[in-house]
Structure 1
Amino acid sequence: MTVSEHPFERLTPDFVMDAVESRGFRCDCRTLALNSYENRVYQVGIEEGEPLIAKFYRPGRWSDAQILEEHAFALELCDHELPVVAPLIDHTGTTLLHFGDFRFALYPRRGGHAPEFDHGDNLLIMGRLLGRLHRIGATRPFSHRPRLDLDTFGRESVSFIRENFIPAEYHDNYVALTTELLHILDELINAVAPRYIRTHGDCHAGNILWREDAPHLVDLDDARMAPAIQDLWMMLSGKRRRQSLQLSEILEGYSEFLDFSVGELRLIEVLRSLRILHYSAWLGRRWSDPAFPHHFSWFNTPRYWSEHILELREQIAALQEPPLQLP
């Protein structure tokens, strides 16, 4: 490997098929790269069988114990008959596989379409699913996977951007705004004192497949300890009135299986702020991966930082607003 080569550049179609065949399958030479930036994910055709999904983990991101804990959570949810796409268990009883320098997992392929959250019944169904998921997630904590907290998503992200990316002309504004923002977030999190449970962690429309009139959850790669509202707020959209109605539908279904602490509604803008900070740092940390400059060419431009500064100001204003109220 040359100094400039990124590890993922070694994931050629031949390498991917060799990895899959090392587990006893015979590939039919059809491979399709799927949209994934943090890891690399491929659909691989199998002779005399359904295609498989092969997920190759980004080196250095998760430990083996953290990946196995994610897999165990997915399998636990499946054992309780939740519609979650979990990794396959091989003949040795493991889900985390190795080939060359890579760790990977195999999944069954599941079809489906994006959820339509404009329909209240779909939000009710999603609420029931997440209520069931959180009822299981609340039974015990993760031992190895991290928490979604102010340090990892907030302070560390701000420090990384401040030290490595923010242009000089925006430096003072960025420091002032993030200092104020982090202080507000700290006060709100302490005031709410949320309960942390095992969550999907990244429950947005892109990680939900709707098939056979029901949602199926995919990609628990960001599963972590977090407040329950983390798995709910990304399904909300539009003006406050619309979000309140959406939330009411979700919680109607959710509460059939688990009580929801309404105090966590105060955390919606907190979690949105942390996601904004973390996303910017995530792009910066992955900039040496050739896929990122190619697909996110707008990052680290003067326009991006100008809009980011504005977004931080808007978040500070949003945090001053009262939380969403249920109708």
Structure 2
Amino acid sequence: MNYYQLTPDAIADALMSVGIHVDSGLMALNSYENRVYRFKSDTDGALVAKFYRPQRWSRQQIQEEHDFLFASAKAGVRVAVPIKREQNSIFAYNNMLFAVWPALSGRQLEADNLDQLEAFGEQIARLHQVGERITLNHRPQLTTEDYLLRARAVLQQKAEIPKKLSSAFFKQLDAVIDRASALYHPRQQLAIHCDCHASNVLWNDGPWLLDFDDCRTGPAVQDLWMMLSGSRQEQLIQLDTLLAGYENIREFDSSELALIEPLRAMRIVNYMAWLAARWSDPAFVLNFPWFNTEEYWQQQVGVLAEQLQHLDAAPLSLTSWN
């Protein structure tokens, strides 16, 4: 079975191997790292199947993702847990690993809705209570070595940066890497979602946390800062709302606010490297046609220069705002 050309018949055969029948509605969902499909089963209802990209995660690492979900759901966190067959939640078909979840309905969380932000903050705090208790032995940590230094090596090897822009790009990149690395020193790390932006939160009488594919060990603030947007004043209001919900459940270490801009820098650099590393996948060429163009790399020089300014600015502080 070819991961890059999963046919409806191949998907149906894989699901039938674990007793799940595709009756209607097989539809590819908006996922690039893995192959994800929603469908209807007359016996099991609406389901979502995820076929894991080969060689991205080991079976042990995927199992830790699932164990984190099971522990979180047991603790009352609003997450969907994968379906089990004979006590297994990871299935294999023709050497390809996959899992199946009940499909959730709802709408994307509105990051500018303060009531929703507060409820989201509470759910993240509940998730972090679980994250404090479990240990991810096989999943990586959120580090500058991975998100900045390794990412830089990927960009140097695989990105098609025009020669006339290469010098300026890497000059800005190295300045961002140096500054972010100097600022990123988390005092506490725990199991976190790690990719908690609005598109990974579904609202249905409250927030549901989706897509734990990137879960790993890192600082708590990583699961909060991606909900911040707009002017500094707007971000302070959003942050105050998030933490009001969060601290109903779990204390937040305010020193982690100084990690927001280093974490933003790590995400910016890692995202560029992710696209460069996956550029041989036809789905990426189709869905990101602007990547590797001269205009794109020119924009990234500006993005890195702006991020360097943010790294040099004073971090967000609710103390000074209040």
- Is TM > 0.5 for Structure 1 vs Structure 2? yes
Which AA in structure 2 matches 1:281? A
Of 48, 55, 63, the residue aligned with 1:53 is: 48
Of 54, 78, 95, the residue aligned with 1:83 is: 78
Cα distance in 2, alignment partners of residues 30 and 314 from structure 1: 44
Cα distance in 2, alignment partners of residues 27 and 187 from structure 1: 51
Does the CA contact (< 8 Å) of 2:181 and 2:262 recur in 1?
no
Q: Percent of aligned pairs with the same residue?
A: 40
Does the CA contact (< 8 Å) of 1:229 and 1:267 recur in 2?
yes
Cα distance in 1, alignment partners of residues 281 and 77 from structure 2: 35
For 1:143, the equivalent position in structure 2 comes to: 137
Partner SS, residue 51 of structure 1: strand
Structure 1 runs, 4 residues or longer, greater than 6 Å off: none
Measure how far apart 1:29 and its partner are. 4.3
Measure how far apart 1:44 and its partner are. 2.0
Which AA in structure 1 matches 2:14? A
Of 227, 230, 249, the residue aligned with 1:235 is: 227
Does the CA contact (< 8 Å) of 1:283 and 1:292 recur in 2?
yes
Residues 251-270 of structure 1: matches in 2 within 5 Å? 251-270=243-262
Q: Does 1:133 align with 2:127?
A: yes
Partner SS, residue 23 of structure 1: coil
Q: Does 1:112 align with 2:106?
A: yes
TM-score between both structures, scaled by the size of structure 1: 0.94
Partner SS, residue 241 of structure 1: helix
Contiguous gaps of at least 5 residues in structure 2: none
Cα distance in 2, alignment partners of residues 278 and 54 from structure 1: 27
Cα distance in 1, alignment partners of residues 41 and 95 from structure 2: 23
Superposed CA offset, 1:65-104 (max 9, x none):
00000000001001112110111111x2111100112100
- Matched residue pairs, number? 318
Which AA in structure 1 matches 2:158? N
Residues 269-284 of structure 1: matches in 2 within 5 Å? 269-284=261-276
Cα distance in 2, alignment partners of residues 49 and 25 from structure 1: 8
Contiguous gaps of at least 5 residues in structure 1: 2-6
Cα distance in 2, alignment partners of residues 13 and 236 from structure 1: 39
Of 137, 150, 157, the residue aligned with 2:151 is: 157
TM-score between both structures, scaled by the size of structure 2: 0.96
How much is the aligned-residue C-alpha RMSD, in angstroms? 1.3
Does the CA contact (< 8 Å) of 1:17 and 1:29 recur in 2?
no
Cα distance in 1, alignment partners of residues 4 and 169 from structure 2: 35
For 2:60, the equivalent position in structure 1 comes to: 65
For 1:209, the equivalent position in structure 2 comes to: 202
Of 168, 174, 180, the residue aligned with 2:175 is: 180
Cα distance in 2, alignment partners of residues 82 and 284 from structure 1: 35
Cα distance in 2, alignment partners of residues 287 and 95 from structure 1: 30
